[in-house]
Amino acid sequence: MSDNKKHHFSSGWGFVLSAVGSAVGMANVWGFPAKMGSNGGGAFLLAYLFFIMLFGTVGLSAEYAVGRRARTGTLGSYEMAWATRKRTLGRAGGLLGWLPLAGSMCIALGYAVIIAYVLKAFAASVGGSLMRVDPQPWFESFSLSDYSVVPFHVIVVVGTLLTLLLGAKSIERSNKIMMPLFFIIFLILAVRVAFLPGAVEGYRYMFTPRWADLLNPMVWIWAMGQAFFSLSITGSGMIVYGAYLSPEEDVVSLAKRTALFDTIAALVAALVIIPACFAYGLDVGSGPSLLFVTLPHILQDIPLGRLFAIILYTAMVFAGVSSLQNMFEAVGESLLHRFPRLDRKAVLALLCVICLGLGLNMEPIFKWGPWMDIVSIYIIPIGATLGAVSWFWVMKRDALTDEISKGAKKPAGRLWYSVGRYLYVPCAVVLCCVALFLKVAF
């Protein structure tokens, strides 16, 4: 057990804000609006809400419970889960855990780059240059060039790792500031966008489902993938936050609250981006360029645009850093568990060097995109599937349900476990198979 186990979240709400901070990120700010915009709008939303309820209640709570029982991160949790079946299987489980753990580190490498881009946009907003440039050439000037955001990249990586020095305590303190500000900022922007001419068409698209779209299997597949990614259910990241929970906390209730606030964050971001795109006749499914081309066009054309630009990019920096915290913490805690003689500061310094050294080679977004495609198509679905199978098919049922029931006013019982085993796990397997098939086929 590493020294940082002395540091626990001080309250359930502190934990929820930290977990929401991990879940809320680029998947909410541009991923959700872009996927919703290109997959049927209201129909996608219905499918997405179904999977959020399922994954939040079962998958996320299982990862919290496994982490709390193991009192450590990814590697130790897989080892513990497999050892409940048979002691000699623990070693195999520990080895298996390296794959989802690698997924967390791989995501962090690319994620730090895109946050550096956002920080550059924030700096341009503060300086006022963003209000005067042509967004497309401005974006291409650094997105297609090597080593174009190095200072911002260093600030993001070093700054994030400094917030992790005290483990759960510093994670909780920073997210108690960042997450409320994120919601306030996006609510302000959503109110402003509501007054744009033509915004009402965006609301109609978001909340009026075309029922025929629900017959399209790909709408459900994309919604399922977005739910997995948005809740950070990767078989790794949320385990480490569970390790910092006290036995008195109700993990199912905490998971539901995490899912609720993550969904609110996604919807608020969509209420900013989708109506604005409809108002200006822009493509809502344009991905990263939403942040650096589409939104600057809008901000340049509205009163107090510079102020709103500063507010917007501040919120996105907060969302990105809070997610990056979780990725680094998952890797750092597992390394401390595997190599107990290591010092926490030394491990964080090592992660800083690795992230900067490898991440700098991905700075142009045309390199970052394919890298993140590989991670999201292969490593994340496989990691999520390995976790789901490990918790509900390998780990002994009593070991999991006993941990789930700790601190609960009403024990989860057999229904919770059956939903996890016979509905949640098949969803993870289907997503993994479809993702691999799509990559091979196209």
Would you say 43 and 219 are in contact if contact means Cβ atoms under 8 Å apart?
yes
* Token reading at 183: 């919601």
Predicted structure pTM score: 0.84
Sign of CA dihedral 362, 363, 364, 366: positive
Per residue in 59-114, pLDDT tens?
999 999 999 999 888 999 999 999 999 989 999 999 999 988 888 888 888 888 88
Q: Which stretches of the chain drop beneath a pLDDT of 70?
A: 1-27, 166-176, 178, 285-288, 361-378, 435-436, 438-442
Q: Which residues are CB-neighbours of 29 under 8 A, at least 6 positions away?
A: 269, 273, 291, 316, 319
* Token reading at 332: 């750092």
- Quote the CA–CA distance of 20 and 31 in Å, as a whole number: 16
DSSP code for 131: G
* Token reading at 182: 């994120």
Question: Which pLDDT score is estimated for 46?
Answer: 92
* Token reading at 84: 């409940």
Per residue in 318-328, pLDDT tens?
878 878 887 88
Q: How many CA atoms lie within 13 A of 77 on its CB side?
A: 37
Number of domains in the chain: 1
* Token reading at 75: 């590697």
CA torsion, points 8, 12, 17, 20, in degrees to nearest 10? 100
CATH of the domain at 230: 1.10.4160.10
Q: Which domain holds residue 424?
A: 3-441
Q: Give the whole-number percent of the chain exceeding pLDDT 70.
A: 84
